[in-house]
Structure 1
């Protein structure tokens, strides 16, 4: 498990921010150092978490905010009695997110440093090669391994959790308006994870490429903002797997049918029309969440 420790509530708020992307993290705990606490008080916090963890054999790693601060110094004192515990400093949302998505601590720290350095435009670094066969097995079935309706398109949950859980090799964004916007296309290109290909296409262009077999053998995550785009793809002969209705932002005239999904009357009609044609829909924010049947949710809320 991971113990995030900081001066004040920085660790607590960092974990809270991370969980906005990942969902609840049960293997993380936080320690807040505040006046008038001393080192002994912080050591006791570590001890309580250590002794009360569910799995006594689980490795414990403390991530402090800064080296040589009270949280880190208290951790060093604590580790003297528990040498199996590891300590690192440099707590950040970027690091916490890497840890939360399964990256080992030392690798996560290295990745965080590299990402920070990459934002300094002095020495441009080569992008990693596309995932190899070991990390992204060749797909012999439908190249669309996941179809997601998400008004945010490529964001934290998609870039870190979904691409990893699906072994994605390509993200395909289908949107007739974005194709004509240099700014939106540039934003998407910046957001796509390194080593993953990106296609930004119109509905017509996407249908033509998918139907021609251009993406056969790949693992494509298809993203759209609205169900109407998917209806166009289906009309053009694209065979869709079950569709994840992940996020649809509130808009004028929309009603909320899930925590992260709001639909208009037009959306509702489109969903029901596609469902009648045999398209399945479910709601799932992050990979660890349970899939919920979306059409029954949609129509239940409607009555």
Structure 2
């Protein structure tokens, strides 16, 4: 696995490392290196050397630094002498760059491959609102990209169906889209479909090159049976709750696996783990889904280990019973 050093002036590197872990999960062979006000170039070099020594594979190292020509960049460049064939440096550090480098390690084995791959993602993450302030060329390019795969014949390819009370947020827009490569993100919810503000926010939260839609459950059922309307698309479906999933499947949406990512706590619910909360209706709904042959993939992000849904539901039921 390629080792990654995130280096910056001040605590920026430490903070963005923490942010990356929140979105993509904790990562092995990744270290933050900071240049503090009381430190100099030799201190940064020593920290980088220590980080490299901790990596499983010291032949493949990628430096993500804040500024081209700054001290972290200069020290990384000095260390890279003699390793130019296998090490790489990318400057202009941002969170999208970090997340993309994590995702790239699943399919890329060299620092050079990852460095070349993450540049477009890092640039695409720089956007402005109001949209009319965007450079004209950038806006046209984004529009062309988002519509590139529309209208192909064939049926949906469901790359992920996820229950997440937060719907389209950072973990979905980065880690899950990188691991599943959808062409469409579809929020399936009667409630959200009636809320123009939430619909607009979901559209704006879509990653570059991916269209996001919000549809009522019955409309999703109709789309699932229509091989022409969105044919040939790789669809990532997002549901707020298991009840909406059950209605969709009973209506004919052909889902055999549901990723259970996040269910927020509210009055009357119990929380058997950090991210999932249930009431009796939730538990009964998951049992009905299981009876229909649905499998459950319990993970917040792709890098997480799989949770045991049967055990989670058992603990939730026991806690609800104790409260009666």
Give the counterpart of 1:274 among 261, 267, 289. 289
Alpha-carbon spacing, 1:169–1:139, altered in 2? closer, same or farther (3 Å): farther
Partner residue in 1 for 2:35: 33
**CA shift for structure 1 position 100:** 2.0
Alpha-carbon spacing, 1:106–1:282, altered in 2? closer, same or farther (3 Å): closer
Unpaired runs of 5+ in structure 1? none
| Aligned residue pair count | 299
Q: Distance in 1 between matches of 2:177 and 2:102?
A: 14
Unpaired runs of 5+ in structure 2? 105-112, 319-324
Give the counterpart of 1:165 among 147, 165, 179. 179
Partner residue in 1 for 2:145: 129
1:18-97 maps to which residues of 2 (within 5 A)?
Answer: 18-58=20-60, 60-80=61-81, 83=84, 85-97=87-99
Q: Deviations over 1:178-230 (max 9, x none)?
A: 11221111111111223333332111111122134454543221110011111
Contact 1:63-1:87 at 8 Å conserved across structures: yes
Q: Deviations over 1:55-77 (max 9, x none)?
A: 1322x222222234332333344
1:71-220 maps to which residues of 2 (within 5 A)?
Answer: 71-80=72-81, 83=84, 85-102=87-104, 104-116=114-126, 120-123=133-136, 124-126=139-141, 127-129=143-145, 143-213=157-227, 214-220=229-235
Which secondary structure does the structure 2 equivalent of 1:104 belong to?
helix
**CA shift for structure 1 position 236:** 2.0
Contact 1:144-1:241 at 8 Å conserved across structures: no
Contact 2:96-2:125 at 8 Å conserved across structures: no
**CA shift for structure 1 position 176:** 0.7
**CA shift for structure 1 position 122:** 4.2
Q: Deviations over 1:238-271 (max 9, x none)?
A: 3321111111111122111222111122212221
Alpha-carbon spacing, 1:122–1:207, altered in 2? closer, same or farther (3 Å): same
**CA shift for structure 1 position 81:** 6.4
What is the Cα-based RMSD across aligned positions, in Å? 2.8
Alpha-carbon spacing, 1:141–1:176, altered in 2? closer, same or farther (3 Å): closer
Q: Distance in 1 between matches of 2:147 and 2:305?
A: 28
Residues 1:226 and 2:241 aligned together: yes
Q: Distance in 2 between matches of 1:25 and 1:283?
A: 19
Q: TM-score, normalised by structure 2?
A: 0.81
Consecutive aligned runs of 4 or more in structure 1 exceeding 4 Å deviation: 80-84, 130-133, 138-142
Contact 1:244-1:281 at 8 Å conserved across structures: yes
Q: Distance in 1 between matches of 2:233 and 2:120?
A: 29
48-57 or 3-12, which moves further after superposition? 48-57
Alpha-carbon spacing, 1:77–1:223, altered in 2? closer, same or farther (3 Å): same
Q: Deviations over 1:12-40 (max 9, x none)?
A: 11011011111112132111222432221
Q: TM-score, normalised by structure 1?
A: 0.86
Contact 1:131-1:169 at 8 Å conserved across structures: no
**CA shift for structure 1 position 96:** 1.5
